[in-house]
Structure 1
Amino acid sequence: MRVKFRNYNADNYITLILIHIGMAFALHFFRPIGKLIFIGVFLYFFLKIILVPNQEKVRMVLLGCAYFVGAEVLFRMTKSGLSYEASKYLVILFTLMGIFYRGVSGKGYPYFIYLILLVPAIVVASITLTFDASFRTNIAFVLSGPVCLGIASLFCYDRKVPQKTVLEVLNYMMLPIITTTCYLFLYTPSIKDVLTSTASNSATSGGFGPNQVATVLGLGMFTLVVRLFLRSPGTILKVINLILFGAMTFRAFVTFSRGGVIAAVIVVAAFLWVLFWKSNHHQKNQILVSFFLFVIAALSTWMISSQQTGGLLDKRYANEDALGREKEDVATGRLDLFMEEMEGFVEHPFFGLGASRTKNMRVEAGIGHLPSHNEIGRLLSEHGIMGIITLLILIFAPLSYRSTNKKNIFFYAFLAFWFATINHSGMRIAAPSFIYALALLNVTYEKKPPVYRKQLK
C-alpha cells in the first residue's frame, strides 16, 4: 500500500490537498489565523525567489504568483490580506523580482508601449476626479489590474519553461481554490435555507461578492480539468479530481453568478479542443474515456445543484425570476453600464474621462460605487484613443506571437479566460492579468530518448 500511495502522491498532491482543506477549517473556526497564513505564504515565496539557484527563479516566480492568484478571493473573503489589492501587488512584486534576476525579452516591447499608454489617463484623472474622491485609492483600484497584466506579460513573454512547470503553476493556483471551496461549505452548509430568488447570492458566496467567487471557482474548475486529463494516471486520482471538480462546480453554480461558470465552460472547451487534436490515436482514446467521466460528473453536479436549489438554478440560467417570469435584462444591468461608458468615449474620444472617472460619475449621480464590469468599456471611456490602442496590443500581440510559436497547448484556453473574464468582471482580481501573461510563455516539452533497435541480418 505504501508504494501505491507514493505513486499517487508523487508531487505531494494528496498531502497538499489535505493541508489546504485543513486551512479552510482553521479560517472558519479561527479567523485571525488568516493574516498569519498570508504573511507566512508571502515570506515563503519571497525568500524562495531570492535564495533558489538562478535556473529555478523563473519557476519560483510563477509558482508564487499562481498561489496568490488562486488565494486572492479567499484572502479578501476572510479579510486575511494586508490590503484589498494585495494579490495584484504581489504578482507585480514577484514578476519584477523575476525581471531583475532574469531580464526580459526584447520582443516583448508591445507591453512597454502598453504600460506607457496607461499614463495619460492618470494625468487626466488628476484634473477630472472630484475633490472628495481619493485619488490614490481610485487610481490603484482601476489600474492595478492593467499594470499587473503589463508587467507579468513582460516577464513571461517568450520565456522558456517546460510543460511540467506550467502544470505545476496550475496546481499551485488550484490548491487555495480548494480551500475556498471547503470554506464555502463550512460557511453555508445548507443552500436551501438562504435562497429566496434567482439573483446572485452573497450568502452562498462566503458573504462576499458572488461574481468574484464564481470567477475564481471557474478558474479552479479549469485547473482540475487539466489535472484530470494530464496528471491523473490511476483510477484513484481520477476519482479524487472528479470529486473536487464536482464540489467546486456545485459551489460555483449556487453563487447564482453565471459569468464565472460560462467562462469556465469556454476555457475548458478551448483546452480540450486543442488537446484532442494535438494528441495521437492512443492518447485520443484516453482523452475520450476521461471526457466521458468528466461529462457524467458535470451532469450529476448540475442535477444535484438543481435539486438543492429547488429548481431556482434552472430558472437562473433560463433568465427567469423565482416565479418563472422571463427577465428583461439578461446582462443584469451590465449593458446599461457599458452603454454609459460608450457615451463617455463618444464625449471624450481622445484622452478619455480619466482613470476611475466613470465610477466617480456614478457616485455623483447618486447611483452608488458601481465599478465597471467590462474592461473594454472602461478602457474606451477612461482612456479614449489610447484605450483602443491598448486593446489592439492586448489582442494582437499574443496572436502574433502564436503565429511563430504554436507549442503552448494552453494558449487559447488562457487567452479565452482573460477575454471572457474582463467582459463580465473587469479586472477586479489578478487572475485574468496573470493568466493572460501565461499565454505568452514559450512552453517546451521533454524529448524522449531515441530507441535503438538491433537490425536483423
Structure 2
Amino acid sequence: MEQSKESGYIKLLLGHAAIGGVAFVLPILMKIYSILIFLYGVYFIYKHQNKNNEALVMSAYVVGVEVLLRMTNGMHFNEYAKYSIIIYMILGMIYSGMSLKSFVYILFLLFLIPGVVLSTVTLSFEANIRKAIAFNISGPVCLGISALYCYSRQISWSRFKTILSAFGLPLVAIVVYLFLYTPSIKDVVTDTQSNFETSGGFGPNQMSTILGFGIFIFFAQLLLNSPTNKLRLLHASLAMVFAFRGIVTFSRGGVITGVVMIVLLLGILFLYSRPKVKMRIAVIFAFSLFAALGVWTYSSLQTGGLIENRYANKDARGREKASKLTGREQLIESELKMFMDNPILGIGVGKNKEYREETTGIQAASHNEITRMLAEHGMFGAFNLMILVVTPLILAFNNRMNFFVLPFVAFWLLTINHASMRLAAPAFVYALALLKVRFENENTVPRESAQ
C-alpha cells in the first residue's frame, strides 16, 4: 500500500469513526445517509461502467453499514441492503456481463418460484402476504443474483483488497457507536442472556454476526494488507476491539464464526505457502492465540466472569442450562416436521411462522435458513441447498488463488444456522467465494502476507 493510499485509508477509517459518533448523537441523519449511499452507488457504477467491479465494492460497503442503519432506524424499508445489492449486481451485469456457466444459479432462482406461488394460496387472510414473502425470499434472491454476478468472474488481488476495506470502513462506525452507547460493560451485564445493552440496543444475534465478521476482516487486513508497522498495529488493534465487543454481546454464534474463518484462512495460507512464509504464519498464529487470550481475560473481568458461564452454557449461578441452542432445537424440529409432512412443494414462503403457531403454539420466526428452506420449499429447497454447498467447492479446485473460498462459505453456512438470512451479509459474502482472484505472480502468496 503506497504511502498516499495508506494516508487516505486511515483518513477514511477516522471519517467512519466520526460517522459512528454522528449516528449516536443524531440518528435521524442516518435516513439521509442511507439514501446517499444508494444513490452514490448507482452513480459510481454508472460512471465507471463497472470496469473495475465497482458493483462489488459498493455492495461490500452496504453489507458493512446495514447493521448501523438498522440500529439507528436509518432504513426507509426493512430490506434496504438486500435490494440495494440486487440493484448493484444487476447494473454490474448490464455493464460487464456474466459467465454463461452460471446457469446453475439461474436454476437456483427458478427453484424458489414454486414456494412463492404456493404461499399466495396458503398464507392466511390476516397475513401481510407481500411482507411475509419479501422477508423470507429477499435473502435467497440476493444470494442468487450476487452469485450470477460473481460466478468465475476474474478480479485482481488489489481490487479484492479494496472490497475487504469497503467491508471494514462502516464496521468501524458500528463499534464506535457501541462504545458510546455502553461505555461501561460492568454496569449492564447481570446475567448470561444475550445482552441488548452491550449490542447498542439492537439484536445481539445480528450484532454478534457482524462483529464476528469484523474480527475476520481486520485480521485478514492484518495478514494480507498491512505493508507497514503502522497498519499492522492498527489492524491488530481493530481486530481485538471487535473481538471484545463481539464477546460481550453474549451471543456466541458470530464470534465463533469469526474464529472459524480465521483458522480456515490461516490453514489455507499455510498449506500453499513457501517454507519461509509458513514459519511467519506460525508466528502470526501464536501471536493471535496470545492476543485472543488477552481479549478473553479482559472480557471476563468486565463481565464479572459471566461470559465464561455463557460459553459453558451455564446460567449466572453456574447451573447447566437445559437447552444448548437457547430453545432453537424446537424450531428446527418443527421445520423438519413441516418438510416431512410436505416433502414436494413445502408449505410455501412465509408460512413457516404461521404454521408453527397453528401446530405447536410457538410464536417465533425461523433462525435456521437450512431447515426453513426445506420446510417452505420442499424438495426444491433441498435441491437449492445442494447447489449452494457443492458449487463453490467444485470451483475451489480450479480457483486456488482465492484463499477466501472456504472462510466465506463457512461464514454463510454457520451464519444461516443461527441467524438465518436476516442480514444481507451471508448472501453477498457467499457469492464472493465464487470469484477467480488474479495475482501478478500466481505462483506465490500475496507479498503482504509474508511481511
- The normalised TM-score by structure 2 is 0.95
* 2:343 equivalent among 333, 345, 349: 349
Cα RMSD between the aligned structures? 1.8
Name the SS for the 1:443 alignment partner: strand
Per-residue Cα deviation, 1:310-359 (whole angstroms, up to 9, x for no partner): 00000000000000000011011111100000110111111001001111
* 1:12 equivalent among 8, 17, 30: 8
- Do the aligned residues in 1 keep the contact of 2:254 with 2:415 (CA within 8 Å)? yes
In structure 2, the residue matched to 1:93 is 87
* 1:168 equivalent among 159, 162, 187: 162
How many pairs does the alignment contain?
443
Alignment of 1:27-66 (within 5 A): 27-53=23-49, 55-56=51-52, 58=53, 60-66=54-60
Per-residue Cα deviation, 1:408-452 (whole angstroms, up to 9, x for no partner): 111111111111111111111111100110000011111399xxx
What code does the residue aligned with 2:230 have?
Answer: I
Which structure: larger Rg? 1
In structure 2, the residue matched to 1:151 is 145
Structure 1 residue 143: Cα displacement? 0.5
Alignment CA distance shift 1:361-1:7 (3 Å): same
* 1:396 equivalent among 390, 397, 412: 390
Alignment of 1:46-125 (within 5 A): 46-53=42-49, 55-56=51-52, 58=53, 60-125=54-119
Structure 1 residue 107: Cα displacement? 0.6
- Do the aligned residues in 1 keep the contact of 2:50 with 2:92 (CA within 8 Å)? no
In structure 2, the residue matched to 1:410 is 404
Structure 1 residue 287: Cα displacement? 2.4
In the aligned structure 2, how far is the partner of 1:7 from the partner of 1:337? 52
1:142 maps onto 2:133 in alignment = no
Structure 1 residue 9: Cα displacement? 5.0
1:304 maps onto 2:298 in alignment = yes
Structure 1 residue 197: Cα displacement? 1.1
In the aligned structure 1, how far is the partner of 2:201 from the partner of 2:360? 25
In structure 1, the residue matched to 2:174 is 180
TM superposition outliers: structure 1 runs of 4+ over 4 Å: 363-369
1:256 maps onto 2:243 in alignment = no
Structure 1 residue 366: Cα displacement? 8.7
In the aligned structure 1, how far is the partner of 2:417 from the partner of 2:87? 26
- Do the aligned residues in 1 keep the contact of 2:399 with 2:437 (CA within 8 Å)? no
What code does the residue aligned with 2:412 have?
Answer: W
Alignment of 1:233-248 (within 5 A): 233-248=227-242
Name the SS for the 1:292 alignment partner: helix
In the aligned structure 2, how far is the partner of 1:369 from the partner of 1:112? 34
Name the SS for the 1:171 alignment partner: helix
- Do the aligned residues in 1 keep the contact of 2:401 with 2:442 (CA within 8 Å)? no
In the aligned structure 1, how far is the partner of 2:235 from the partner of 2:159? 19
Alignment CA distance shift 1:448-1:322 (3 Å): closer
In the aligned structure 1, how far is the partner of 2:57 from the partner of 2:440? 20
What code does the residue aligned with 1:222 have?
Answer: F
1:291 maps onto 2:282 in alignment = no
- The normalised TM-score by structure 1 is 0.94
Alignment CA distance shift 1:310-1:445 (3 Å): same
Residue segments in structure 2 that go unaligned for 5+ positions in a row: 444-451
Structure 1 residue 83: Cα displacement? 1.4
- Do the aligned residues in 1 keep the contact of 2:86 with 2:146 (CA within 8 Å)? yes
Structure 1 residue 7: Cα displacement? 2.6
1:377 maps onto 2:371 in alignment = yes
In the aligned structure 2, how far is the partner of 1:108 from the partner of 1:76? 32
- Do the aligned residues in 1 keep the contact of 2:368 with 2:420 (CA within 8 Å)? yes
- Do the aligned residues in 2 keep the contact of 1:118 with 1:383 (CA within 8 Å)? yes
What code does the residue aligned with 2:22 have?
Answer: A
